[in-house]
Amino acid sequence: MSLTHASIQACRDEIAAQVQAYRDLVGAASKASGMSLVRIDAALSAFEPAFFGNLLVALDARFASRARVAGVGAEVALLARALLHHGGVLVRDAALPYDADASVLRIDAGERVVLNAEDVQSLAAAFLAELEAQAPAGP
């Protein structure tokens, strides 16, 4: 996918739609009858990190062809790799400079990556803004 302002906006819209679908699901589940709130909460707690982890991996894959040597792009790539290849634990990579204190989510090497809606929204907003700054001017 070429990097354009339109492709970045389309990605923003898709992430917003996925987050809203998750929130709609949570709202519907909380109103469901015949199931205890404890069971609903447990099911959502198990589903949430998997859903948002997969959303982050999809975000990373969508722009994987972009060179990311630093910044939020490196954070997204490292988090996606943690989820895909390291059992959910953030592992440093010498090719991707990363400073947890300057990162969006402040997850340090060796820590487990467990994402929620707010995490993905914050990370995606920063990542897409960074990509947008690199995109050529125009439509």
Q: What is the pLDDT of residue 76?
A: 95
Q: What is the mean pLDDT of residues 77-106?
A: 95
Q: Average pLDDT in the 63-86 region?
A: 87
pLDDT in the model for residue 35: 63
Q: Is 84 in a helix, a strand, or coil?
A: helix
Q: Mean of the per-residue pLDDT values for the chain?
A: 89
The whole-number average pLDDT for the span 105-112 is 98
Q: Provide the whole-model pTM.
A: 0.88
Which sequence spans correspond to the domains of the chain? 5-134
**DSSP category for residue 116:** -
117-134 vs 71-85: helix crossing angle, rounded to 10: 130
**Top-confidence residue, 32 or 120:** 120
What confidence category does residue 3 fall into, taking pLDDT thresholds of 50, 70 and 90?
A: confident
* 107 in Cβ contact with 113 (< 8 Å): yes
d(CA 50, CA 124): 17
The pLDDT value given to residue 89? 98
Alpha helices by DSSP H, listed for the chain, are 5-31, 37-62, 71-85, 117-134
Nearest 10 degrees: Cα torsion 97, 79, 128, 20: -160
First to last CA, the chain: 15
